[in-house]
Amino acid sequence: MDPEILFLILTTAVKIIVFTFVCTLPIIAYSTYAERRVSSIIQDRVGPNRVGIPLTLFGAKKDIPFSGLLQPLADGLKAFLKEDLVPAHVRKFFFWIAPALTAAPAFLCICIIPFGSSITVFDQPVKLVIADIDAGPLFIFAIASLSVYGITFAGWASNNKYSFLGGVRSCAQMISYEISLGLSLIPILMVFGQLNLSDIVQTQAQNGWTLLPLWNEHGSIFDAGYWQNCKEQWLLMIPLTISFIVFTTSIFAETNRMPFDLPECETELVGGYHTEYSSMKFALFFLGEYAAMIVGSAVIVTLFFGGWSLGFGLDAAISSMSLGGLIHILIFLTKVIAFVIFFIWVRWTVPRFRYDQLMKLGWVVFFELALVNIFITAGIIMLLN
Amino acid sequence: MAIIKIKRPQLTFAEKLYLPAVIKGLSITFGHALRAVLGKTPGAKRNFNSSGLGITMQYPETKWDDQLPDYYRGVPALVTDEKGRERCVSCQLCEFICPPKAIAIIPTEIESDDPWAKVEKRPAEFDIDMTRCIYCGMCEEVCPEQAIYLRKDYSMTGLSRSEMVNDKERLYEIGGVRTGLVNKWNDIK
């Protein structure tokens, strides 16, 4: 076989394994732990702080205390060992396939996110992106829309009026917010001229992040050259901030996360569409929700906060190191984790929206706002040229 | 009845926008979280028997046993007299009144050569199934012999159902000796 193709296949396989199993899945597991701990800090309580290595199960005298850090492992073990109840009145095919259909699209979206710049392997540069396609966000919209199927199947197949209502509400909510999700990214396309996520991050590394344009090609805010050339960046920040607000709120709605979690809150609908699910199927729904949250945060970080770039012109220095891409991965993961904590923070701050308020926000407010935003961006770009 | 028109409160522009309120809320939550981490919230001063991380008490390192009120209802137990006599005469009133039927009694007679022969009955077997007991205290209320009392223990655990059934020995062991009771079976002076 052609050594080029072999190299490509090998590096892609390694990237898939590392980005999914070493980067994303542990972050998903620990974001469940972080959710419980951060929620309890906000709420004046303790959260899980006792799980350690249970050596007493094997006859030793004391457990090794780990202050609750092994809680996700304990939860995962519980999910495997719990009894998997399938009620007799469900439609079996859709009941079984629904959790997979919800979780798989969230994991699929990991492949276009640029985790880092590039590293040099055997004198060849390898970009730290699994699939460097030119239609980045479009891929995410297409694939993330598939998770609507999973939720609809779950609500319908459970043969239970509360699940059905939860599934219908969730499906309608997700579809409504996909419009504003897509429309709010058109200003980004107009400003950057392309949708290739790695190139967008590269441009942001050189010209300042979209929402924090503190440097450009002529230096950072400490240099005079920056201030003479920065009018464009700051003017464009106005419509792009509106775009950021619409996009972030739509991501909250897409992942059924507070304040939009009416389909799955306990007070309204028992468990919503995942009422009838137990053990591993429920764990898949749960994992899919957190994976969608993390992928959403990763896309927001990539488009609006510079992805893997550190800023202030230091990225060229980091990229010139042969393993500089790995440092960039750490920077990227830090930003994503900060955003996930923001998700948790918002959950305990904003009260839940009523369903009609939610739909009005999606169809009336955000749709119009995103459309108007496109015209504003076009106007500003015309002004600047 | 007159029709009352309700005037909805007029929202200011900032309130209609909703985002300023969200940002203000985020700052309140963030400030609280910072104070919790730095140890400045009310619970952190360890004044609610808390652990320092919040108002939560870290059981079993910190317990609340010294604050239990006198009327606290814990595990039921049988008591013995100062004279060493078991007070229960197996009248089975507690068995009758127990709502979840946790008590099971088999009475037997006291032999005529026993010093307490006039009492006539004692329980041969007295089982309280702690997986059924609801700690209501009805058995303590109904007992005419002041023989069964609810103690202040609350954590009773076992690894099997048979371990969770308290038989007569165990009940007297938990109950111990209780003084100051009415000894109606004593001889008339």
Rounded to two decimals, the ipTM of the complex is 0.82
- Let me know whether B47 and B128 are in one domain: no
CA distance A40 to A23: 25
Which of B61, B80, B101 is the last residue before a domain boundary?
A: B61
Q: What is the pLDDT of residue A376?
A: 94
The answer as to whether B187 is a domain residue is no
Task: Compute CA distances A306 → A175, A207, A219, whole Å.
Answer: 28, 10, 17
Averaged pLDDT for residues B163-186: 86
- Let me know whether B126 and B33 are in one domain: no
The answer as to whether B92 is a domain residue is yes
Q: Residues of B14-47 as b/e, b for ≥16 C-beta within 10 angstroms?
A: eeeeeeeeeeebbeebeebbeebeeeebebbeee
Strand spans (E) along A204-314: 215-216, 219-220
The answer as to whether B117 is a domain residue is yes
Q: Tell me the chain B residues in contact with residue A47 when contact means C-beta distances shorter than 8 Å.
A: 53
CA distance A21 to A19: 6
With bands split at pLDDT 50, 70 and 90, how would you rate the model's confidence at B52? low
- Let me know whether B43 and B87 are in one domain: no
The larger pLDDT score, comparing residue B46 to residue B87, is at B87
| Short-list A125, A119, A251, A130, CA closest to A185 | A251
Averaged pLDDT for residues B22-41: 88
- Let me know whether B82 and B166 are in one domain: yes
- Let me know whether B153 and B107 are in one domain: yes
Q: What is the pLDDT of residue A267?
A: 56
CATH assignment of the domain containing B79: 3.30.70.3270
The answer as to whether B188 is a domain residue is no
Give the global pTM.
0.85
Q: What is the pLDDT of residue B137?
A: 93
Structure-block tokens of residue B182: 């009415």
Q: What is the pLDDT of residue B27?
A: 93
pLDDT at B48 over 70: no
Structure-block tokens of residue A377: 């961006």
CA distance A128 to A19: 9
* Closest chain B C-alpha to A38 CA, distance in angstroms: 8
Range of B127's domain?
Answer: 68-175
Q: What is the pLDDT of residue B31?
A: 92
Cβ B127 vs Cβ B116: under 8 Å: no
- DSSP code, position B121: E
* Closest chain B C-alpha to A342 CA, distance in angstroms: 10
Asked if B33 lies within 8 A of A38 by C-beta distance, the reply is yes
Q: Give φ, ψ of A50 to 5 degrees.
A: -120, -15
The answer as to whether B164 is a domain residue is yes
Q: What is the pLDDT of residue A270?
A: 67
Q: Please tell me the total count of domains within chain B.
A: 2
How far is residue B86 CA from its own chain's centroid?
Answer: 24
- Let me know whether B41 and B80 are in one domain: no
- Let me know whether B17 and B101 are in one domain: no
- Let me know whether B75 and B155 are in one domain: yes
Cβ A259 vs Cβ A350: under 8 Å: yes
Positions in chain A whose pLDDT score sits under 50: none
Averaged pLDDT for residues B43-71: 77
The answer as to whether B31 is a domain residue is yes
* Closest chain B C-alpha to A46 CA, distance in angstroms: 6
| Short-list A261, A339, A289, CA closest to A106 | A289
- Let me know whether B130 and B151 are in one domain: yes
- Let me know whether B91 and B167 are in one domain: yes
CA distance A168 to A273: 9
The answer as to whether B87 is a domain residue is yes
The answer as to whether B119 is a domain residue is yes
- Let me know whether B116 and B165 are in one domain: yes
Q: Tell me the chain B residues in contact with residue A349 when contact means C-beta distances shorter than 8 Å.
A: 22, 25-26, 28-29
- Let me know whether B57 and B73 are in one domain: no
CA distance A185 to A277: 35
**A-interface mutation test, from B26, B58, B61, most A Cβ less than 10 A away:** B26
